[in-house]
Amino acid sequence: TLVVGCVLIIRLVFQKQSIKLEFEELKREALQSQYESLKNQLSPHFLFNSLTALKILIQEAPDKAQNYVNSLSKALRYTLQSNEKQLVTLQEEMEFMDSYVYLIRMRYDTNLSVNKEIDEDLLLYKLPPLTIQTLVENAIKHNEISKRKPLKIDIVTTGKESLFVRNNIQRKFTEESGTGLGLSNLSKQFGILIGKDITITRTDEFFTVEIPLVK
C-alpha cells in the first residue's frame, strides 16, 4: 500500500508539472500571436499612410490636422499598451476603434462606412486586444473601396454574448500583400485565452466573422 501510494503521488506530481509546462507553452503562443498583431499595426506601411495623410491635412485643412494627430496618438498608444494585456474590455476596444476609424476614413472618405451597434450591457465583457481592428483591416485589405463600389462594415453585438464584423464582398483585382495569418492568429488567441473559437461565414454577398465575448 505504501509503495502504491508513493507511486501515485509521484505520478500526480509529474502530471501537475506537465500541465504547468503545457499551460506556459500555450501562454507563450498567445503572447507571440499578440506580438505579431502588434508588429503588423506598427508597420512602415501603416505609419507612412498616416503621416502622408497628416501632411496633406496640414497643407489643405489645418483645422482638421489637430483632430487627426489626437486620433493617431490615441491609436498608437492603445496599440503599444495592448502588448501588456491578454484581454481588454469591449469598451476599451471600441474607444480605440473610434480613433482608428477616424484615421482610415481620412483616406477613403465616404467610400467607406462603418456602422456600430453595441449593446451597453456588453461593454465590460472582454476580448483579446486589437481583435476588431484586425477584422476591419482584413475587410479593407481584401476588398475594393471606391465611389463605384463603396465598402460597408458592420460591427454589431448579438444577444448571445458575441460580436460580429461583417462586410460586403467586392474583391480587388490586385490584393495588398500580407502574411495571410491574421484570422488564423486570431482564432488561436481565442482558443487559448477564452477557450472558444471564432466563426467565419462567407456568402456570395457578405463575409462575416463572429467572435465570443467573456465576462
Q: How far is CA 31 from CA 2, 37, 189, in A?
A: 44, 10, 9
What's the pLDDT tens digit per position in 119-162?
Answer: 999 999 999 988 999 899 889 989 999 999 999 999 999 989 99
CB 116 within 8 A of CB 164: no
The pTM (predicted TM-score) of the whole model is 0.74
Sole residue written with cell 481620412: 106
CA distance 142 to 172: 6
CA 48 to chain centre: 21
Q: What are phi and psi of 23, to 5 degrees?
A: -60, -45
User: In this predicted structure, what is the pLDDT of residue 195?
Assistant: 87
DSSP state of 60: H
CA distance 100 to 41: 11
Specify burial of residue 120 (Cβ count, 10 A radius: 0-12, 13-18, 19+). exposed
User: In this predicted structure, what is the pLDDT of residue 176?
Assistant: 57
CB 153 within 8 A of CB 112: yes
CA distance 30 to 186: 9
| β-pair type (126-127, 151-157) | unpaired
| Grid coordinates given for 141 | 485589405
What's the pLDDT tens digit per position in 9-58?
Answer: 777 766 766 666 666 666 666 555 554 554 455 455 566 667 777 777 78
For the cut 70, the answer to whether the pLDDT of residue 76 exceeds it is yes
Mean pLDDT of the chain, nearest integer: 81
The pLDDT > 90 percentage for the chain reads 36
CA distance 202 to 31: 29
